[in-house]
Amino acid sequence: MKGIKSIVIASMMSLSVLPTMGQDLLARQAPIDRKMKAVDSIMLNKLILEEMADNNPAADLYADWSNRYAHLESALPDTFRIDLRDFHMPTPSRIVTSNFGSRWGRQHKGLDIKVYTGDTIKAAFSGKIRIVRYEPNGYGNYVVIRHHNGLETIYGHMSKHLVRENQDVRAGDPIGLGGSTGRSTGAHLHFETRLCGVALNPALMFDFRNQDVIGDYYTFRRSSYTRESAQATRLRGAGSSNYTSRDVLQPQASVKNTRQTGKSARGLHKVKKGETLSAIARKRNTTVNALCQLNHISKGARLLPGQILKYN
């Protein structure tokens, strides 16, 4: 009996020691856990910052955020890759009515897309609304969005704004309604794409006729931009449905092949500033009616410098 009592007392004493040892172990472990937690937090923050940089190149391109100006041009990088994957066409309209570039003695900094008053205009990419304003002698009711991919897009001549400045939007969110406000002669959407405030040809990235972008990415290169912009206008600008990429990229091969098969070569005329359908018809020994039928245009159609017309 005395032996059993001794065993019980010894067991109780050992059990009382275990929690103390456990507490000592936890106390020694606590500083290590805090250090590991600090390291984990640093690594996590680093990963978050890296992911933000990957998903928001605009943070490296623009030094400030301002609601004062529509665009302020700064130095363009020599090359810059623009992620086009998270996109939404700003309008379902497939009709480009005016191209990027020289027009009526001044530079037209975007594309004009045919829309009707009241049509919904949507954000092309996710981003943040920087400007919501009315400009009577220019854009009319317009919106500027700074996107995470580095671009800024401008939507002009709208009849109504549907967003406010500093609002976050996702690709496809409604931002306004189509209209003809400001310097406009009819309902349309004036659509600009800018990088560092410098206007780039939207046709380099957007194919309105096919309601798509040109690919997952567009890489801007200062050295080849002018040539690429001109080609994009020929392929995806106003009037581009009148010919194919083969006509543009390989005109000599097309003429050679038609000669070999005994067919008449296709005649293409590049419109010069001030030219009319009548002047072109006389120069190409044809008629205005024939030009209109070949190119699917009306006699009163407005011709743009650089536009390509078939004449046989």
Q: pLDDT digits over 284-295, tens only?
A: 888 888 888 787
Contact 278, 296 (CB under 8 A): no
Does residue 31 register a pLDDT over 70? no
Does residue 252 register a pLDDT over 70? no
Contact 242, 270 (CB under 8 A): no
pLDDT higher for 115 or 21? Answer: 115
Strand partners for 206: 213
Contact 122, 129 (CB under 8 A): no
The mean pLDDT value for 136-159 works out to: 97
Residue 113 sits at φ, ψ, to 5 deg, of: -115, 130
Reported as type and span, the H/E element at residue 130 is strand 127-135
Neighbours of 121 (CB within 10 A): 26
Taking only the tens place, the pLDDT of each residue in 219-249 is 999 999 999 999 999 999 998 754 333 333 3
Instruction: Give the CA dihedral 54, 191, 105, 283, nearest 10 degrees.
Output: 110
**Which DSSP state fits 92?**
S
**Rounded to an integer, what distance in angstroms lies between the CA atom of residue 192 and that of residue 156?**
9
The mean pLDDT value for 191-212 works out to: 96
**% of the chain residues with pLDDT over 90:** 51
Q: 4 burial class (0-12, 13-18, 19+ CB within 10 angstroms)?
A: exposed
What DSSP line would sit under 54-114, residue for residue?
Answer: HH-THHHH-S---SS-S----PPPSEEEEE-SS---S-S---EEE-SEEETTEEE-SEEEE
Taking only the tens place, the pLDDT of each residue in 55-114 is 677 777 898 899 999 998 888 999 999 999 999 999 999 999 999 988 777 889 999 999
The mean pLDDT value for 145-164 works out to: 97
Looking at residue 7, its pLDDT comes to 53
Does residue 29 register a pLDDT over 90? no
Q: 81 burial class (0-12, 13-18, 19+ CB within 10 angstroms)?
A: middle
Strand partners for 155: 143, 191
Does residue 189 register a pLDDT over 70? yes
Looking at residue 273, its pLDDT comes to 82
> What token pair was written down for 69?
């100006």
> What token pair was written down for 57?
């190149």
The amino acid occupying position 262 is G
Neighbours of 207 (CB within 10 A): 19
